[in-house]
């Protein structure tokens, strides 16, 4: 049985730890928790007990470093363990700021990596020889796995389960955990729903709630305006000012994002178009082409 060792640092984020731990526990792995002291205090104030003795590791085992808040001092014993385990053929993984431990151990140089979007610039500055990949959920490079942060640790752990036991087992674990879907590492850290919710307009939020829940259905502007209790012209003006998109463009973005998710999991373009609410695959292809041509580089 493969062992998953969680290396805990003071200020550890609970979900960075609990998400992957739940996945691996559900999948039937043995778990161990180690720290420099018998107790560490999480960023959310919950004390956590941990062992101080590292278990014997084999190349089949995995060390996972959850992220933490602040500038925690990293013990040299942890950095040595990371280097030794990777050198012996083992896999190491991090969530959020846990990637800093890999950088301090010299394990990011020449490798692709990622972290939470708020920390990417700092990681790139600290480790200029690393290639920080932005706006992805996780990266895998030569047995070094790094993830964006918080909930993406679940995606990372499900990816490991899929690699070792097949996608069907990972899907089974996701269902047991009531996880909506197992996301690919290349999916963006911030979904359309999140990117366009950073405003304070209650009317627009109300309309977004309606679109989010029914984006695969026809949603003409008069229906949305009636639901919001404003005129069509007022709704278009408020929505565009708050989100930068018209209601139709917002709905199309949700459909496109859902279709890309389906295609990334093996669905044909035609089937993805139908399931996402497009009249036909031609519109989906045009939107995909338009989106890719707008990307930098």
Choose from 1-5, 38-42, 161-165 the range with maximum mean pLDDT.
38-42
* Among the listed residues 185, 89, 206, the one whose alpha carbon sits nearest the alpha carbon of residue 135: 185
Query: For the CA atoms of the chain, what is the radius of gyration?
Result: 22
Q: Give the largest Cα separation in the chain, rounded.
A: 68
DSSP 213-255: HHTTS---HHHHHHHHTS-HHHHHHHHHHHHSS-HHHHHHHHH
Confidence of residue 297 (pLDDT cuts 50, 70, 90): very low
Letter string b/e over residues 265-284, b meaning 16 or more CB atoms within 10 A of that residue's CB: eebebeebbbebbbeebebb
**Which tokens sit at 8?**
């805990």
Q: Where are the domains of the chain?
A: 3-176, 192-293
- pLDDT attached to residue 271: 94
- pLDDT attached to residue 200: 80
Note the CATH number of domain 3-176: 3.40.50.880
- pLDDT attached to residue 175: 82
Average pLDDT, the chain: 89
Q: What are residue 31's DSSP bridge partners?
A: 4
Whether 31 has a pLDDT exceeding 90, the answer reads: yes
- pLDDT per residue over 164-182, tens digit each? 987 678 878 888 998 755 5
* Among the listed residues 287, 293, 62, 96, the one whose alpha carbon sits nearest the alpha carbon of residue 189: 96
* Among the listed residues 251, 260, 152, 243, the one whose alpha carbon sits nearest the alpha carbon of residue 203: 243
Confidence of residue 183 (pLDDT cuts 50, 70, 90): low
Give the Cα separation of 178 and 172 in Å (integer): 10
Place of tokens 């919950």: 46
Which class in CATH covers the domain with range 192-293?
A: mainly alpha
**Which tokens sit at 278?**
């497009």
Whether 256 has a pLDDT exceeding 80, the answer reads: yes
Single pTM value for the model: 0.69
Give the Cα separation of 275 and 236 in Å (integer): 27
Confidence of residue 296 (pLDDT cuts 50, 70, 90): very low
SS3 category, 42: coil
């Amino acid at each position: 049985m493969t062992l998953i060792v969680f290396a805990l640092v003071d200020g550890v984020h609970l979900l960075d730890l609990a998400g992957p731990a739940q996945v691996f526990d559900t999948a039937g792995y043995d778990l161990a928790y180690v720290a420099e002291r018998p107790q560490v205090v999480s960023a959310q104030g919950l004390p956590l007990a941990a062992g101080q003795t590292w278990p014997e590791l084999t190349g089949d085992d995995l060390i996972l470093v959850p992220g933490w808040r602040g500038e925690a001092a990293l013990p040299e014993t942890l950095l040595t363990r990371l280097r030794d385990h990777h050198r012996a053929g083992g896999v190491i993984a991090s969530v959020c700021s846990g990637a800093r431990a890999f950088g301090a151990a010299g394990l990011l140089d020449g490798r692709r990596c990622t972290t939470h979007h708020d920390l990417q610039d700092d990681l790139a500055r600290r480790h200029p020889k690393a290639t920080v990949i932005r706006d992805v959920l996780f990266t895998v490079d030569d047995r070094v796995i790094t993830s964006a942060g918080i909930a993406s640790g679940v995606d990372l752990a499900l990816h490991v389960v899929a690699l070792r036991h097949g996608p069907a087992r990972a899907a089974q674990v996701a269902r047991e955990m009531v996880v909506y879907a197992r996301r690919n590492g290349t999916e963006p850290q911030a979904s359309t729903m999140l990117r366009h919710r950073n405003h304070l307009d209650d009317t627009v939020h109300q309309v977004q709630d309606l679109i989010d829940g029914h984006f695969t259905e026809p949603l003409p502007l008069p229906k949305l305006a009636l639901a919001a209790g404003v005129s069509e012209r007022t709704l278009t003006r408020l929505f565009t000012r708050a989100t930068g998109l018209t209601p139709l463009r917002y709905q199309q973005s949700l459909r496109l994002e859902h279709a890309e998710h389906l295609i990334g999991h093996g669905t044909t373009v035609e089937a993805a178009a139908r399931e996402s609410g497009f009249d036909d695959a031609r519109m989906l292809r045009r939107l995909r082409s338009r989106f890719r041509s707008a990307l930098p580089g």
